[in-house]
Each structure stands twice: as structure tokens, then as C-alpha cells.
Chain A
């Protein structure tokens, strides 16, 4: 079945540091890939997504590139801020042959803390 493996946390960085959170996946079909973010006390919200190989998703200074050859979708940001402190989830949606019945498979989440 489908699965997502992401970098174990927690991750603690200083403000303005470079961030990478690794994510790899296994899927039988042609998945879309997502990063969701959960700020303290809130639900998840979509950060970025990519729907096909070599697509790059970007938002709020974060980027991730859909790499089919390495089955990866690593999240990066060049200079993190205290406000980026949150839990980050990698996920995939594999439509396969079940159009209209898409489900998300999530990784376990990576807690990121940014220190001023």
C-alpha cells in the first residue's frame, strides 16, 4: 500500500538557518504530493503541493520538488523565522483508478522549533 516516511523530529534551528525536512514515499499509482502545516492549537492547512514529476510547489518561502526518480518530496526554506515553528506533515494522494475517491496518506509529522 501507499506510505510516506518523513524525517523524525523534533528539529530545532536558529532563526535565519536553512531548513530541510526529508520526505520519501511509496505509491502504486501517480500520486499528488503535499506538505501540510499545523500551527499550535490549530488544524492542518495546506502549505504547498505538486501534482506530477518535476513540479515544484512553493509558498511562504518554502519549496519542495516532486522527484519521481528518488520518490522524494523534501521541504526546504532558505531562512526560517520564529513564526515557522509548527508541525509539518508530508502526504500523498494516490488517485489510481478511483477518481473521486482520493484519500491522503500522511507521514508522522516533524515538529520544528525556531529559536530567536
Chain B
């Protein structure tokens, strides 16, 4: 089974802090994704990566950056966290098929 893990289930940070969310997949997938999930808005794509060191902006990249130094790891970075970034963050990976496999999510609260 594909396993996608995220570094934290719950995280509380203060406004202005730098925040790192880590995602690791164990299936050698080329593609990895970061979404945020908000009530009434569904999932919105922040960034994705189709190869090591490659990244593409999604629909809502503002205020975020990403890093993909190794194939199995995709990090989401909030350079200076703000309260409007309080959300559930979901990581996903995808191999040669078009099925995405999701991690359990990180619920981030920015105070």
C-alpha cells in the first residue's frame, strides 16, 4: 500500500513565525502536491512538483513556498505565518496513474 505521511497532525504557531510542513511518500512517485482544505471551499492546490527540484504554482501559491530536494519528500513553507493561513493542509503523491494518494493532513492554527 502507498503510504504518505505528514510530520504533524496538529500544529499551533504564532503570527510571523516560519512554518515547515513535511510530507514523505514511500512509493517512488514522481508527482507530489500540497493542498489546503477549508469548509465550503473544498481542496485548493497550493503547489505541486513533478520531479526533484521542480515545482509549479497551483491556484493559491501566495504566502507559501515549497522544497523538493529528494524524491520522497516535499516540504511546504510558510515564510511568515498569518492568521488567514489557519487551515487543514493535505499532501498527496501520484505515480504513473492519475490517482492521488493523500496523507492524513496537518491542522495548522496560526494565532
Interface residues of A (CB under 8 A from B): 32, 34, 36, 41-46, 49, 51, 89, 93, 95, 100-104, 106-109
Contacts and interface: CB of A to CB of B under 8 A. Distances in A.
A107 B103 CA distance: 19
Identify the interface centre among A32, A46, A106: most chain B CB within 10 Å of its CB. Answer: A106
B24 interface: no
Contact of B58 (A34, A51, A103): A103
Main secondary structure of the interface of B (DSSP, over half): strand
Contacts of B104: 41-43
A44 to B, nearest CB: 4
Given A43-B90, A102-B94, A89 B43 contact: yes
Contacts of B92: 44
Contacts of A103: 33, 45, 48, 58
A101 B105 CA distance: 23
Given A100-B50, A103-B58, A43 B98 contact: no
Contacts of A42: 104-105
Given A89-B43, A102-B94, A108-B42, A43 B102 contact: yes
Given A43-B4, A43-B90, A44-B90, A104 B100 contact: yes
A106 B100 CA distance: 12
